[in-house]
Amino acid sequence: MAFVPPFFNNFGKSTKDLFKKKYDFEHVVKCTNKTPTGVTLEAGGFVSENRGYLKAKYVEKSFGEVEVEAHSTAAKDSKATAKLTKLATGLTTTLGVTSGKSTDGSADFEYSQQHVAVKAVARSDLDTHKLDFAASVGNNGLSVGGQVVMDVSRGANVTDANAGVEYAQRDYSVSAFTEKNMTLVNLGYFHRLSASTQLGAQLKLDTNKGSRSLTVGTEHKIDADTSFKYKTEMPSGVSAAAVEHRLRNPDVLLGVAAQFNKSSFAAEKFGVSLTFGDS
C-alpha cells in the first residue's frame, strides 16, 4: 500500500489525543443535530464562564465544507471557514476569518501524496503577517519532518523552527518532536493493546528550564456505552480521570472529568459535560 506520512503538526497525535481529549474541566451543556441536507448544528454553553456558542457546518461533496462558529463574548474567537477539497488531487485549501480580541484572515494549504505531506499557512491582521511552512517525508511507517514560522511584517524573521520523527504501525507508534524553537523536546509512545484498551507515555524535556516530566495514561472502553481514561504526571504527582457514558433514554452523552494531586484526593479541577442529540 502507498504510504502517506502525517503532516508535521500530527506527529505524535495518538499520544497527544490520549492525554488531552475528554479531559474537559468545565461545566458544559450542548446539543447537536445533523439534518438530511448535510448541515450539522451545535449549540451550547459553558456554565462556569457564562458563555454560549453556536456552530454550523455544511458539507457538500462537490466542493468541501463551510463552517461558522459564533461565541457570545469576545474572549473567545468567532470564526468562519471554507474548506475546498476538489481544487486538485491531494490538495485541501481552507480560507478563514477570525474575529474576537482582534480580526485576522488566514489561508491554509495542505498537500499530500505518496511519501510526502506539505502544509503552508498564511495569517494576517493587516498589521502582522505570519507564514507557517511544514513538510514531512516518509516510507513504510517512518516519517521525518520540520516546521518554520516566519514573521514577514517587516522582513522575513524566523520566529520558530522545529523538527521531528515518527514511526507508526497499525497498533503502536513512537514519536520525537520539538516545540518552542527546539527548546521543548517531546518523546511519545502509544500502543493499542486491543479494540477496547490503549495506553501511552510522553516524556517532555524543557532545555530552557532544565526540567523534565513524564506522563503515563490509559483509556479503556468498558462496554459499548462507557469509557474510562486516567493519566498521571511525574514528578508533580498531578493525576486526572475522565468517564464518559451514553444514556439511552434520554439520548445523552455524559462526561465527567477531575484532576487531583498526590497529597489530596480533593479535586483541584472538575467538569461535567452533557451532549444531547447526535454526537
Phi, psi (rounded to 5 degrees) for 249: -145, 100
**8-277 CATH fold:** Porin (2.40.160)
Cα 203 to its chain centre, rounded Å, is: 19
Residue type, 182: M
Q: So what's the pLDDT on residue 279?
A: 61
Residue with cell 458544559: 28
Calpha distance 127→129 (Å, rounded): 7
0.85 cut: is pTM over it? Answer: yes
CB 259 within 8 A of CB 271: no
Domain boundaries, the chain: 8-277
Calpha distance 166→169 (Å, rounded): 10
E strands of 207-250, at which residues? 211-223, 226-234, 239-248
Dig out the grid coordinates for 97 from the structure: 476569518
- Contacts within 8 Å (CB) and 24+ apart, 254-261: 255/22, 255/24, 257/22, 257/23, 257/24, 257/25, 258/25, 259/23, 259/25, 261/236, 261/237
Q: So what's the pLDDT on residue 66?
A: 96
Q: So what's the pLDDT on residue 3?
A: 94
List per-block mean pLDDT (blocks of 10 residues) for the chain, which spans 279 residues.
92 97 93 89 90 94 94 89 95 95 93 97 94 97 98 93 97 97 97 97 96 97 96 94 91 94 80 87
CA distance readout (Å), 24 to 15, 200, 237: 17, 19, 19
Looking at residue 10, what DSSP letter applies?
A: G
Of 147, 151, 148, residue with least CA distance to 130: 151
Of 40, 22, 23, residue with least CA distance to 32: 40
Helix/strand/coil (H/E/C) assignment for every residue in 103-132? EEEEEEEEEEECCEEEEEEEEECCCCEEEE
